[in-house]
Structure 1
Amino acid sequence: MNILEKNGKTIKYHIERKKIKHTYIRVKSDYVHITTNQKVKDHLIINLLNERFFDLYDKLNQKQVIKDHEIRLWQQTYEFHLEPGKFEYQISENHVYCKYPKLNAVEAKKAIYKEEIKMMVDYLRPQILNTLHQVDIDELTYKYKYLKSKFGSYHRRHQDITLNTFLATIDPIYLEYVIYHEYAHHKVFNHSKAFYDVLDQMMINHKKIQKTLKKMEII
């Protein structure tokens, strides 16, 4: 872990090098994680961090960390109660009571996220189908996974959409946006003007939602 100081303020950062083309900066719970190409020099990363220093510093200080005894569902935080047993859960007022085979809060929460996002997709389905009909797109199969690097993806070969179950922790409008975004890829695979023209027809305010979603960190 490294430390960068500027005007009496500090941020911690870690550089991870991979065989990738671009550089990605993500704000974790208490540090900044940079993923970049193996050939990118350290001073270039530091220059980039200095350019965004105060924005990153503010995000680190504003970041809310969900504790083991808490769970966030659809932008609301609940007290989380876990006990061993066959998986099931119940939401009562500001509490979530969960049984899970292992006393593993992280795994139990991910299981809940998956169930919640499935139910929300079912709830949104009539509206989504109506929108898809207007742009002449057929409904695809959904898959659900907890991902660390993206909110969703469209698989052209398998003709399905993968949704990140992390979306169950934030406002449902972002799930709706990700669904339409991936369906737009079903019609236009790249991010060309034609792609955004399709997305414009499905969700008028998608640009504002996308801008906010890009600032969110998957934790």
Structure 2
Amino acid sequence: MDINYLNYNNKTIPYVIIKKDNKNTYFRFKDKYLEISKSKYVSNESITNFILTNFDKFYHKYLDHAKKYPNEFEIILEDIKYKLNVINENTKLKFKIDNNELTVKTKLTDITKIKKKIYEYHLIDMYNRIKDDVGEILQKNNIEKLPIKTGYYKSKFGSYHRKHNEITLNIVLAKANINYLYYVIMHEYAHTIAFDHSKKFYNALEKLMPKYKYYDKSIKTISIWL
């Protein structure tokens, strides 16, 4: 995949054009560039002219997106940013935090895989801190406690799998205040009562977490990028 660069007034937007069988052309920011899915009937020149005509709008969106994308050797745990120091050793991954630095010892060499493991381990630790409170709320509302699994997803913070009767949590929740983890868990348990986002669902969620509305609105500020 070739990344191109559009320059205007000493400002640059990296972009990639992908030809698809679309009727329309779609723009979205992905990773560190603007991805354009274009119809085969639209020329590349018309695409770049459109971006240039609306350059400031696209550029501000690009900057907002870039802010959410972390430095490769940074990691965020519960709203605190740490410098990531990797020591390669033939050992199972383990890490410790000292002031603003997180030192990890591991045989893994891929930074993305290392970050995923750290976020996974920390999210499990966060869940263990609140699982008794979660269990108490579930018991009061006569809701069965379900198995919890973790994973990395780019489109959701959690999900309830009705077929397997289990809940999945996105490891990026380890980045945020623990209340967001609590909210997502309660959100997914509310889906065991109402699978869609109906009035019945929100009534159930309010019983489980009366102050859910703040977290429901603000959770989108959590960056899903590793």
Q: Scaled by the length of structure 2, what TM-score is found?
A: 0.74
CA RMSD of aligned residues (A): 3.6
* 1:213 counterpart = 2:219: yes
Alignment match, 2:72? 68
SS of the counterpart of 1:187? coil
Partners of 2:69 and 2:223 within 8 A in 1: no
Q: What is the CA–CA distance in structure 2 between the aligned matches of 1:25 and 1:137, rounded to whole Å?
A: 42
1:102 aligned residue:
108
CA contact under 8 A between 1:150 and 1:164: conserved in structure 2? yes
Q: For the structure 1 residues 25 and 151, does the alpha-carbon distance in structure 2 shift closer, same or farther, using more than 3 Å as the test? A: farther
Verify: 1:59 aligned to 2:64, yes or no.
yes
Which has the higher mean CA deviation after the structures are superposed, 120-129 or 26-35?
Answer: 26-35
Which residue of structure 2 lines up, in the alignment, with residue 128 of structure 1?
Answer: 134
The normalised TM-score by structure 1 is 0.77
Gaps of 5+ in 1: none
Aligned to 1:85: 90
Identify unmatched segments of 5+ residues in structure 2.
none
Moved over 4 A (4+): 1-5, 9-19, 24-29, 32-36
- Choose 1 or 2 for highest CA Rg: 2
Q: 1:128 to 1:69 in 2, by over 3 A?
A: same
Residue 191 of structure 2: SS of its match in structure 1? helix
Cα–Cα, structure 1 residues 155 and 199, in superposed 2: closer, same or farther, change >3 Å? same
Opposite residue 147 of structure 1, the aligned amino acid is: Y
How far did 1:31 drift? 3.8
Using the aligned pairs only, state the percent identity: 36
**C-alpha distance 217-90 of structure 1, shift in aligned 2 (>3 A):** closer
Distance 1:27 1:124 in 2: 35
Give CA deviations for 1:138-161 in whole Å, capped at 9, x if unaligned.
111011111122111111111110
